[in-house]
Amino acid sequence: MTITNRIPYRRIFVAGHRGMVGAALCRRLQDEAEVVTADRHDLDLKDREAVDRFFAKHQPDAVIFAAAKVGGIGANSAYPVPFLVDNALMAIQTISSAYEHGVERFLFLGSTCIYPRDCPQPMREEALLTGPLESTNEAYALAKITGLKLCQYYRSQFGAKYNSAMPTNLYGPGDNYHPEHSHVLPALLRRFHEAACAGDPSVTIWGTGKARREFLYVDDLADALVHLLVWPESGTEPADWLNVGTGLDLTILELASRIAEVVGYRGQIVTDPSRPDGTPVKRTDVTRLHQTGWRHRIDLTEGLRRTYAVFLEESRQGCLRQV
Ligand SMILES: NC(=O)c1ccc[n+]([C@@H]2O[C@H](COP(=O)([O-])OP(=O)(O)OC[C@H]3O[C@@H](n4cnc5c(N)ncnc54)[C@H](OP(=O)(O)O)[C@@H]3O)[C@@H](O)[C@H]2O)c1
């Protein structure tokens, strides 16, 4: 799994370590660096004084920022104020406090929702700020663009090694399986699992099934982030922000079929074209990522098998995440 043989930082603060991405980062880094973490009730990243105290006490030399207030379309559209304020505050307080406390390396995480709604596909890094954002997650995207730009400005104004990674859709251990608020992949995994257990003759999926999406296993993302932490990566000039994905997409119907196979569901898959498909295609351009020497390793079927094994174990233990 390890492709980075040299992490030049002695103490790394993983912000958001209890989340899906943060937990994967902790797994990835456990044998390679001293990882510093803090629970939210001990360290609210919106609170500048608390963040200052934390950096003064622990003195990390690198930060990977995987903390965020995240939510589905419903929550994002209904509550834009906290999605903008909380995420922008967390980013600004943490990035600026890190710089003032001498943190040498900062890797900020956003998502591909920062790109314009009608972005040409595959989405290239240059598309940033070239058109209107998708209105349903505009507040979240604006906060993430603020963090990305702040890292860019610390680099241009002070020469700091601060930049950002923009992951595609993620899945894997620690995902959210809430029946209404979860993303498409965990939602389908749960639906097909329940249908298999109940012996349902068919499962209906929303839309035509023709929309195309890309998915990256979260442990692959963690591996990419550790690779990108090394500055400069493989002798190339580090980018201010970089897409992280597989560059491969598939239709929602194909995704449903793969999930059905992994969970052992043998009934029929029915589409419901009266429901919305969303954007027809969403795929990242990973040319720059590949130029740094990193490619994903865990293909979708393998990632689904691993995810389903964890899903079954967490269900058995009664600790499946449903928020
Ligand atoms: N999941 C995806 O498909 C996906 C795709 C692309 C990009 N990303 C990006 O990856 C990053 C992490 O996402 P994720 O899926 O891992 O999210 P997640 O599972 O919801 O984790 C977010 C973490 O942030 C912490 N947090 C939230 N507000 C905080 C605050 N005020 N102070 C301190 N900690 C706070 C949460 O703490 P608690 O545990 O206490 O709530 C949680 O540990 C985000 O930037 C997201 O945009 C995710």
The per-residue pLDDT for 233 is 62
pLDDT, one tens digit per residue, over 99-132 is: 999 999 999 999 999 999 999 999 999 999 999 9
The per-residue pLDDT for 67 is 98
Count CB atoms within 10 A of the CB of residue 99: 18
Atom index in ligand 1 nearest the CA of residue 109 equals: 45
Burial class (CB in 10 A: 0-12, 13-18, 19+), 63: buried
Checking if the pLDDT of 89 tops 50, the result is yes
Q: How far is residue 209 CA from its own chain's centroid?
A: 23
Atom index in ligand 1 nearest the CA of residue 18 equals: 43
For ligand 1, atom 35, which residue shows the shortest CA distance? Answer: 67
Distance in Å, CA 151 to ligand 1 centroid? 19
Mean pLDDT for 248-269 is 98
Q: For 25, how many CA atoms within 13 A lie in the half-sphere containing its CB?
A: 28
More confident position, 230 or 37 = 37
Mean pLDDT for 63-79 is 89
For ligand 1, atom 39, which residue shows the shortest CA distance? Answer: 18
Checking if the pLDDT of 159 tops 60, the result is yes
Rounded to an integer, what distance in angstroms lies between the CA atom of residue 131 and that of residue 241?
18
The per-residue pLDDT for 97 is 98
| 140 in catalytic set | yes
Rounded to an integer, what distance in angstroms lies between the CA atom of residue 54 and that of residue 136?
34
Mean pLDDT for 61-70 is 97
Q: Which residues line ligand 1 (CB under 6 A)?
A: 16, 18-22, 40, 44-46, 66-70, 90, 109-111, 167, 169-170, 183
Count CB atoms within 10 A of the CB of residue 61: 17
- Catalytic hit among 140, 154, 171, 177: 140
Checking if the pLDDT of 3 tops 60, the result is no
Rounded to an integer, what distance in angstroms lies between the CA atom of residue 239 and that of residue 163?
7
Q: How confident is the model at residue 234 (pLDDT cuts 50, 70, 90)?
A: low
Rounded to an integer, what distance in angstroms lies between the CA atom of residue 109 and that of residue 124?
17
**Domain locations in the chain as residue ranges:** 11-317
Q: How confident is the model at residue 271 (pLDDT cuts 50, 70, 90)?
A: very high
Checking if the pLDDT of 169 tops 70, the result is yes
Range in 55-69, 121-135, 229-243 with the lowest mean pLDDT: 229-243
The per-residue pLDDT for 276 is 85
Omega of the bond leading into 122 within 30 degrees of 0 (cis): yes
Atom index in ligand 1 nearest the CA of residue 321 equals: 19
Q: How far is residue 279 CA from its own chain's centroid?
A: 19
**CATH code of the domain made up of 11-317:** 3.40.50.720
Pocket test for ligand 1, best of 51, 111, 183, 184 (most atoms within 8 A of CB): 111
Q: How confident is the model at residue 231 (pLDDT cuts 50, 70, 90)?
A: confident
Checking if the pLDDT of 294 tops 60, the result is yes
Distance in Å, CA 198 to ligand 1 centroid? 33
Distance in Å, CA 214 to ligand 1 centroid? 20
Checking if the pLDDT of 66 tops 50, the result is yes
Rounded to an integer, what distance in angstroms lies between the CA atom of residue 322 and that of residue 320?
6
The per-residue pLDDT for 235 is 65
The residue length of the chain stands at 323
In one-letter notation, the amino acid at residue 320 is: L
In one-letter notation, the amino acid at residue 223 is: D
Range ranked top by mean pLDDT from 38-42, 257-261, 316-320: 257-261
